[in-house]
């Protein structure tokens, strides 16, 4: 059973999250305990310092949480919890809408600035980190995903995720081997890559990798599939996306040609 002091502390914390100060919360709670009260009575009930009661009452009036009767002395009454909480929620929603509008304007300015500034390209090291990044951008996809990938990049977990995302996004994959896994709505083109000269056998694994383009907005370029030596480049900048989209289209045209 929760004690009275624990319940009081909890409700004060809740009211603070709704925009009241501790003293405002104490006065509002005190007024809910009575039909009405004078400032002196509120001081006794709430334990708020006498000198602070009138300023707090002014603040609660401004927030439309109490009413005042102009008697002598003045008497104050609290709005019901239903009305009071509704008023506080409306104020929070209004403030949130204002904040969203202002923050969106700040964000738009940053995007405009980014478009005219240097392009940022991020490095990702290690196959597990690369798979995590790949998982993140696939999960965020909304419209389409285009992939050229070595089979080792397309782990069972990645395949399952792609299959799930294909319910909302168009997915196209080019690979030289597909080891099981449900293709679902995905279009998978299996195309064996040209033979690599024997003298380059030692760098086959290092040359393996892939490209993932999401929503024509972000690109992950992977080189290598080794646990430690795999490396990837990630960027959402226009030039990077445009370059690798053209590269993807060239490979896709080749992969879709009949044997």
Which pLDDT score, from 0 to 100, does residue 90 have?
94
Supply angle C-alpha 223, 224, 229, rounded to 5.
110
Fold of 1-117: Arc Repressor Mutant, subunit A (1.10.10)
Same fold, 1-117 and 122-255: no
CA dihedral 49, 50, 52, 55 (to 10 degrees): 150
Q: Using CB atoms within 10 Å of the CB of residue 197, give its burial: 0 to 12 exposed, 13 to 18 middle, 19+ buried.
A: exposed
Tokens 């006794």 label which residue? 44
Which pLDDT score, from 0 to 100, does residue 206 have?
44
* Architecture of the 122-255 domain: 2-Layer Sandwich (3.30)
Q: Identify the segments of the chain with pLDDT beneath 50.
A: 1-3, 200, 203, 205-207
Own/partner long-range contacts of 44-48 (Cβ < 8 Å, ≥24 apart): 48/23
Gap between the Cα atoms of 201 and 218, Å rounded: 32
Using DSSP's 3-state secondary structure scheme, residue 187 falls into: strand
Assess contact for 249 and 174: CB atoms under 8 A.
no
Tokens 């597990």 label which residue? 128
Could you tell me the residue ranges of all domains in the chain?
1-117, 122-255
Query: In this structure, what DSSP letter does residue 37 have?
Result: B
Spacing of C-alpha 241 from chain mean position: 22
Assess contact for 43 and 30: CB atoms under 8 A.
no
């Amino acid at each position: 059973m929760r004690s009275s002091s624990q319940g009081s502390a909890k409700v004060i914390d809740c009211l603070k999250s709704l925009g009241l100060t501790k003293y405002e919360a104490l006065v509002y709670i005190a007024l809910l305990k009575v039909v009405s009260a004078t400032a002196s009575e509120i001081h006794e009930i709430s334990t708020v310092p006498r000198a602070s009661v009138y300023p707090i009452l002014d603040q609660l009036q401004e927030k439309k949480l109490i009413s005042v009767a102009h008697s002598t002395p003045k008497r104050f009454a609290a709005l019901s919890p239903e009305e009071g909480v509704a008023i506080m929620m409306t104020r929070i929603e209004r403030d949130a809408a204002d904040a969203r509008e202002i923050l969106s304007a700040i964000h738009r300015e940053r995007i405009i600035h980014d478009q005219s500034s240097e392009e940022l390209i991020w490095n990702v090291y290690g196959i597990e980190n690369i798979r995590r990044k790949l998982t993140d951008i696939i999960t965020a996809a909304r419209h389409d995903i285009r992939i050229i990938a070595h089979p080792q990049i397309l782990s069972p977990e990645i395949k399952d995720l792609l299959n799930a995302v294909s319910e909302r996004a168009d997915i196209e994959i080019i690979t030289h081997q597909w080891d099981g896994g449900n293709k679902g709505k995905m279009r998978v083109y299996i195309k064996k890559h040209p033979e690599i000269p024997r003298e380059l056998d030692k760098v086959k694994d290092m040359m393996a990798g892939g490209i993932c383009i999401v929503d024509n907005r972000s690109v992950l370029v992977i080189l290598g599939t080794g646990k430690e030596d795999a490396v990837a480049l990630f960027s959402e900048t226009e030039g990077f996306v445009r370059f690798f989209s053209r590269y993807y289209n060239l490979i896709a045209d080749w992969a879709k040609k009949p044997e």
